[in-house]
Amino acid sequence: MIRRRTLAAIVLVPAIAAVAFGWLTRPDPLPASAILKHEADLRSGETLYRAGSCLACHRPPQGASGLDPALPSGGRPFPTPVGVFYPQNITPDAETGIGRWSEADFVNAMARGLAPDGRHYFPAFPYMSYRAMRLSDLLDLRAYLMSLVPVSSPTREADVPLVALARRGVGLWKRLAFRQRPWPPGADGSPSWQRGAYLVNAPGHCGECHTPKNWLMIEDLGRHLAGGPHPAGEGKVPSLHGLLARKKYAGVDDLVLALQNGETLGYKNLSSGGMAAIQESLSHVPEAELRAMAEYLLSLE
């Protein structure tokens, strides 16, 4: 016969643990009242869309019939050592895309990593970088996405072990990860340098792959943009400091040409490991903005 105290422990300990887990992992959304009124600028929205290479991940699967590869209807598998993720449809389709999302829904997705229903996104969606984006920029980006042609393409749940529990557990990780600043401060550079730092680190989210992560899967800012293992599990992502130290790019003009053209003009190694789609996206960023990014990147050497 089980004694009463043992029985109480068997029931109570897990119950208390579950409540604590639920409380520690609770979502922390911004209220709708935090969203200020803003006249959206579609050109700024498109620049952010291109600088962030949204399409590089939110593309339809390769060769999917009936889905325009130039529209971010999502679904292309994104393999990682943790599991396979299927980026969401971010066209304004009402049923399967973001067509019904309010401004607050969009801002919470980008800056807090929260779905409109309050579930956590896995950080394969780089909200750790996007959280540093200005609110007005997020609203410009939303307006640009809303101006795209809607595509119907349902989003598939990630292939991750114990996915529902893991998803909830992301809340715990966020409590730690959100404490860190998004990127190390640099010299108090010119306005174009500041703009470049912002574009590279916030919408551009270069550090998501080019900065190594610590054992908690949080970016190690002591090695900011110093390269690391490839997120797909094989090979590595180069250190941007290393590329500059090896004088791979002769200056701002040269780096801008490299980002605009990649291997089309013979700039080596800008196409593998997923960089081709990113370079393709960057080629649509206005030149003045690319120059700002190049100015910042070259200052990292």
Partner 1 sequence: MRLSKPAVASLVVAGLVLGTSLAVVYADAYQDRHMLMEGINDAMKPLGAIAKKQAPFDAGVVKASATTIAENLKKAHELFPAGSDGGESRAKPEIWTDREGFDKQMKDAQAAAVALQSVKDEAGFLPALRTLGGSCKSCHDMYRLPEKK
| C-beta of 45 vs 228, nearer to partner 1 | 228
Q: Which residues of the chain form beta strands (DSSP E)?
A: 78-79, 84-85, 228-229, 236-237
**Member of 261, 284, 299, 300 binding partner 1 (CB under 8 A):** 261
Do residues 58 and 72 touch, judged by C-beta distance below 8 A? yes
> What is the distance between the alpha carbons of residues 246 and 239, in angstroms, rounded to a whole number?
11
236 binds partner 1 (CB under 8 A): yes
Asked whether position 249 contacts partner 1 by CB under 8 A, the answer is no
- Phi then psi dihedrals of residue 96, to 5 deg: -110, -10
Q: Report yes or no: 146 and 92 within 8 Å, Cβ to Cβ.
A: yes
> Which CB sits closer to partner 1, 99 or 274?
274
For residue 80, state whether it binds partner 1 (rule: CB under 8 A). Answer: no
Stretch in the footprint of partner 1 (CB under 8 A) among 18-26, 119-127, 212-220, 234-242: 234-242
Enumerate the β-bridge partners of residue 120: 114
- 102-110, 139-147, 157-165, 258-266 -> range binding partner 1 (CB under 8 A): 258-266
Q: Calculate the alpha carbon distances from 77 to 62, 88, 128 in Å.
A: 9, 10, 21
- DSSP label at residue 114: B
Applying CB under 8 A, the span of 82-90, 120-128, 256-264, 291-299 interacting with partner 1 comes to 256-264
Residue 106 or 267: the one with the smaller Cβ distance to partner 1 is: 267
The correct pick among 263, 284, 299, 300 for binding partner 1 (CB under 8 A) is: 263
Q: What residues make contact with partner 1 under the rule CB under 8 A?
A: 230, 232, 234-238, 257, 261-274, 276-277
